[in-house]
Structure 1
Amino acid sequence: MLHLVTGGARSGKSRYAQEQALSLSTQPVYVATAKVWDEDFAQRIQRHKAERGAAWINYEEELYVSRLPLDGQTVVIDCVTLWLTNFFALHAYDMDKTLSAIQEEIRVLQQKAGVFIIVTNEIGMGVHAETAVGRRFTDLQGWVNQYIARMADTVVLMVAGIPVVIKGEA
């Protein structure tokens, strides 16, 4: 099963995804895709781990999530935007290579047994990016979101903390 949870910044996406995972498993898996950029961000990550508590199995993987031991698990992958950023940097901002790499990761994950709840952002609904690379990234994010949404069993758009089901049944 593949579920996509999307929305704007601070819309409640991660909280909702975690609640869904906990309703399905007593020991869900949380995959953080963020790269630790500085000490402040490292402290934020530690705070989030502590908030999730001991019930969670935690992994940090910036690129190759599909290589983690996730078969048969209930998994929250948070988030596509940071994951995509890592691939974009790895592939020197080449859109085609980046898109291909992350689509392959998603395709492999979809073939695994388990429940995958993927969190993403709707960055294209916000302010128009000022730079050319920012506009290219916004396009990439939109294409990746569409790719995952096509394969997903359910898609939930979070609006002000309220889940709005736009595909399937929550």
Structure 2
Amino acid sequence: MKRVIVITGGQRSGKSSYAEKLALSLSPNPVYMATSRIWDEEFRLRVVKHQERRGPEWTNIEEEKTLSRHNLTGRVVLVDCVTLWCTNYFFDLNANVDLALQKLKQEFDSFTQQEAIFIFVTNEIGSGAVSENNIQRRFTDLQGWMNQYIASKADQVYLMVSGIPVLIKQ
């Protein structure tokens, strides 16, 4: 039963909507694990829009960092999203990319040891121009390396392009 699926793409490419539809096709009562912190009012409104899209069939869990503390054996689990999960470690560890990457990999491995179907949503933030900001470049490195790590462990990887899922690994 254990399976890891990754859905990646750019901002507003349809990642979350596709992931939600996929989760519902695999289970009548999937788990939605939200990793975001509320940084400001605009972001809070984004979170509200995501929440309103989901119905009562979802089990909602808000978990900023320690995903593995939740026993989700036998469930379909949508983690949205890896980028925000990485952000939490990055800032809590004072932008120490090496330490954040180590902690994220350990947590990913611990979390995905459970017998469950995991759907990870992530962003391809490194697909654009190189930032002039040092912190942003360091975070982009962390995000890219974590995406590579998760994708290497995944059974399937989809790239979302203009709302269209393109299977890139099976």
Length-normalised TM-score, structure 2: 0.95
Report matched runs for 1:66-105 at 5 Å.
66-105=68-107
Equivalent in the alignment of 1:138: 140
Equivalent in the alignment of 1:55: 57
**AA in 2 matched with 1:114:** A
Aligned pair partner of 1:149 in 138, 148, 151:
151
C-alpha displacement of 1:43: 3.1
Give the whole-Å Cα distance in 2 for the aligned partners of 1:69 and 1:56: 16
Give the whole-Å Cα distance in 1 for the aligned partners of 2:154 and 2:113: 12
C-alpha displacement of 1:167: 0.4
Equivalent in the alignment of 1:4: 6
Partner SS state of residue 101, structure 2: helix
Length-normalised TM-score, structure 1: 0.95
Give the whole-Å Cα distance in 2 for the aligned partners of 1:100 and 1:79: 18
Count of aligned pairs: 168
C-alpha displacement of 1:135: 0.5
Report matched runs for 1:109-120 at 5 Å.
109-120=111-122
C-alpha displacement of 1:45: 1.6
1:163 pairs with 2:160: no
Give the whole-Å Cα distance in 1 for the aligned partners of 2:30 and 2:150: 21
**AA in 1 matched with 2:146:** V
Partner SS state of residue 9, structure 1: coil
Partner SS state of residue 95, structure 2: coil
Give the whole-Å Cα distance in 2 for the aligned partners of 1:126 and 1:45: 24
**AA in 2 matched with 1:156:** Y
Give the whole-Å Cα distance in 1 for the aligned partners of 2:48 and 2:131: 30
TM-superposition CA deviations, 1:41-62 (whole Å, max 9, x none): 2233223212111111001111
Aligned pair partner of 1:15 in 4, 17, 23:
17
Dislocated runs of 4+, deviation >4 Å: none
Give the whole-Å Cα distance in 1 for the aligned partners of 2:45 and 2:61: 16
RMSD over aligned CA atoms reads 1.0
Partner SS state of residue 167, structure 2: strand
TM-superposition CA deviations, 1:101-123 (whole Å, max 9, x none): 11011111221111000000000
The sequence identity of aligned pairs, in percent, is 52
